């Protein structure tokens, strides 16, 4: 059973928001045990905070947004994926805007900063949520499941009618080294006709060839070639890790995603919470048991409180 981890010192990054088109700066700082990952913003001397939790998830399109009490941060999935993928349990993310900067469209700039800060082991065991019974949602076109497994694993499949993508399937066995080497560098992607449609709706104002792969009918618009032949499915895994971090607890199970996306990722998390008989906690103590109970969102339409009677080991 591993210990919790934080980062060694504060590191900062700045860039442009993908959808807002506004400059943004984020700083990642150490946090104590059982703190989790929290966003913080200082507006004219007034400090607002928002825990990176499913209970603070807000409905949106094309990215992951969290918010509470007027605090709203969008496009959180890449920085959260970097922290979770690198094994960081506790951190504070200070931000001076309403959107996390897109950087190069991947999680690599964040993982490099985390590595530069150093990952520090803390003196508190990490709690794991171990899947005992299969959970499945979706249909024949878009689906996601989580199955019992001896270790964390992801199998993701995408299928696009484009000669450079087509059907791609990749397995990722959860480790910080594999995440940094094989997942973090994969960039977000879009198709040229979709970009024009997003601009018409006031979205992707900060999108460019510097922070996204843009596919034409026959190739890509970017000067930089694909970083991996299957870069697109790797990025989907990156997004999934960032989204699933909102559970606030590491899972032991095999996630199988078939042409999924943010909406199904979020639905899977809620379905897990709604079915506590399908999982158990490993290595938890009293504080963690309380935190898991608190994972059920409040004030979000259609989300119900998690039952905890059978949540113990």
**Taking a C-beta distance cutoff of 8 angstroms, is the pair 83, 114 a contact?**
yes
E strand segments, the chain: 3-7, 11-16, 23-30, 37-43, 46-51, 57-58, 65-68, 71-73, 91-95, 119-125, 128-131, 135-138, 143-147, 153-160, 166-173, 189-191, 213-215, 250-252, 254-258, 279-282
Residues known to be catalytic: 262
Rounded Cα distance between 13 and 3, Å, is 27
Name 309's Cβ contacts closer than 8 Å, sequence gap at least 6: 276
- Tokens 């399109």 correspond to 61
Name the token pair of 137: 């949602």
- Tokens 């890509």 correspond to 220
Return the closest-CA partner of residue 210 out of 74, 21, 12: 21
Rounded Cα distance between 162 and 215, Å, is 9
Return the closest-CA partner of residue 246 out of 70, 39, 95: 39
Rounded Cα distance between 154 and 302, Å, is 27
Name the token pair of 278: 């399908």
């Amino acid at each position: 059973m591993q210990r919790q981890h934080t980062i060694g010192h504060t590191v900062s990054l700045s860039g442009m928001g993908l959808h807002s088109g506004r400059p943004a700066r984020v700083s990642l700082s150490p946090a104590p045990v059982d703190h989790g990952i929290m966003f913080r913003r200082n507006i004219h001397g007034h400090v607002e905070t928002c825990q990176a939790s499913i209970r603070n998830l807000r409905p949106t399109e094309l990215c992951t947004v969290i918010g509470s009490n007027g605090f709203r941060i969008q496009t959180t999935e890449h920085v959260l994926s970097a922290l979770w993928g690198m094994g960081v349990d506790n951190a504070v993310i200070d931000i001076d805007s309403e959107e996390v900067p897109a950087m190069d469209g991947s999680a690599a700039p964040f993982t490099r900063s985390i590595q530069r800060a150093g990952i520090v082991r803390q003196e508190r065991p990490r709690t794991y949520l171990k899947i005992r019974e299969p959970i499945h949602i979706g249909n024949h076109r878009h689906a996601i499941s989580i199955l019992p497994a001896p270790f964390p694993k992801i199998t993701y499949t995408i299928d696009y009618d484009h000669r450079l993508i087509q059907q791609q399937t990749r397995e990722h066995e959860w480790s910080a080294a594999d995440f940094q080497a094989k997942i973090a560098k994969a960039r977000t992607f879009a198709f040229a006709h979709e970009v024009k449609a997003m601009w018409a709706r006031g979205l992707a104002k900060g999108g460019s060839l510097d922070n996204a792969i843009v596919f034409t009918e026959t190739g890509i618009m970017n000067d930089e070639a694909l970083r991996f032949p299957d870069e697109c499915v790797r990025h989907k895994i990156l997004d999934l890790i960032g989204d699933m971090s909102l559970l606030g607890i590491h899972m032991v199970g095999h996630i199988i995603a078939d042409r999924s996306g943010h909406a199904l990722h979020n639905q899977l998390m809620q379905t897990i919470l709604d079915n506590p008989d399908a999982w158990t906690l490993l290595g938890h103590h009293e504080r963690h048991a309380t935190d898991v109970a608190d994972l059920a969102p409040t004030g979000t339409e259609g989300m119900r409180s998690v039952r905890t009677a059978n949540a113990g080991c």
